[in-house]
Amino acid sequence: MREIQEFTLEELKVHLSEHAFSGQSVVLNMGPQHPSTHGVLRLILELDGEIIVNCIPDVGYLHTGIEKNMEAKTYQKAEVMVDRMDYMYTIGNTLVYTLAVEKLTGLKSPPRSDAIRVILTELSRIQAHLLWLGTSGMDLAALSIFLYTMREREMVLDIFELVSGARMMTTFIRPGGLWRDVPVEFESQVRNFIKVLPKRIVEYESLLTRNPLFLDRTKGIGIIDTKTCLAYDVTGPTLRGSGMAYDVRKANPYSGYDQYDFDIPTQTEGDIYARYLVRIEEMRQSLRIIEQVLDKLPYGPVRDPNYKFVPPPRSEIGVSMEALIHHFKLWTEGFTPPPGSVYVTIESPRGEMGVFLESNGTPKPYRVHYRTPSGPLLHALPVISKGCFVADMVGIIGSIDIVLGDCDR
């Protein structure tokens, strides 16, 4: 068994100041077993008293090797693995992979399928923000908010269970459309949720937005400006909280987002509080998008009829030998896209998520690589936290909303 080696002081010299080696500053381990690091994250902090001088993120404790494992599976079987990366936005992980496969194969998602995809991804964005709000608020001693946000998040997970049979790892979006059409109760359940949540968001704001203790722990803390965000490739609410209105859904629309009217919330302060305000408003904008989609939800098929890439419906397998052969070959051999490479991006709750997919003309992808938003956010953490109190670190980590499954792939 390979021996696990820790950092040596010599290796840390390039990251720490001379004061750390002369005893004038303190080096402190935060994590990897720490409830407020939002995953298995270790931070090596250099402190001058209580002030953070340097911060060294140390990832790898959650490494899964998902991308390499996907290259050993057929395109359909690889899709199941992408749910496990950003486990707070599983539907989005599946969507970006599916869009890449569709671009590679020439498959077209029907209009009804696109509309349902938008509803589900926006619901997923809301539940991710609800989880962020509850946990990051709890990190700052606002315990009640967690109970309220979990109440509404359960409503979203119930909808996911209704359509897919699973609450988190749904794998409902498939190349060429969806696994199946949504049940008849779907629309009424979603409409009930978008009716309830606006009042609940007001409740959240009444607990936090003007709370003097919350303001003391968030305003003017963990500041990052637009220039630094761009230098570190930071996107999402962190970039928008620094003043730049960039959102992939507007900049490079996918799944019909160009049909819907919504705003990109921004703040200019770039601190923890600004990122909080951006996410609160993003939930309202997601509700606005969902309502528009429901009002014009088209009827029709939810799968591309090209059975060389998309499994035929079960109803045809029992009566058509051709459908049975397609079904058998797809699940035993997989489909074969033409050689080539594609790159596709979407907007996740944490920022821009992209996937590079390369085919060499076999049923297994030759290369899979995800561009996930948590990596750049983690790289920028030393800049964001420098000069802050060590007690502020939990609030800063919560405000950038990293998911370690996103980083350790």
Query: What separation, in Å, do the N-terminal and C-terminal C-alpha atoms of the chain show?
Result: 22
Residues of the chain with pLDDT below 70 are 1-15, 17-22, 34-37
pLDDT at site 5: 62
Going from the N-terminus, what domains does the chain have, and what CATH number goes with each?
75-304+336-380+388-407 (1.10.645.10)
N residues, the chain: 409
For 75, phi and psi rounded to 5 degrees? -60, -40
Amino acid letter, 95: L
For 283, phi and psi rounded to 5 degrees? -65, -40
Query: Rounded to whole angstroms, how far apart are CA atoms 41 and 399?
Result: 15
Task: Please indicate, yes or no, whether the overall pTM of this predicted structure exceeds 0.85.
Answer: yes
pLDDT at site 2: 55
pLDDT at site 46: 85
Q: Kind of pairing, strands 26-30 and 42-48?
A: antiparallel
Report how far apart, in Å, the C-alpha atoms of 101 and of each of 66, 226, 230 are. 17, 33, 29
pLDDT at site 139: 86
Q: Say if CB 311 and CB 327 are below 8 A apart.
A: yes
Q: Kind of pairing, strands 340-348 and 177-178?
A: unpaired
pLDDT at site 351: 94
pLDDT at site 32: 78
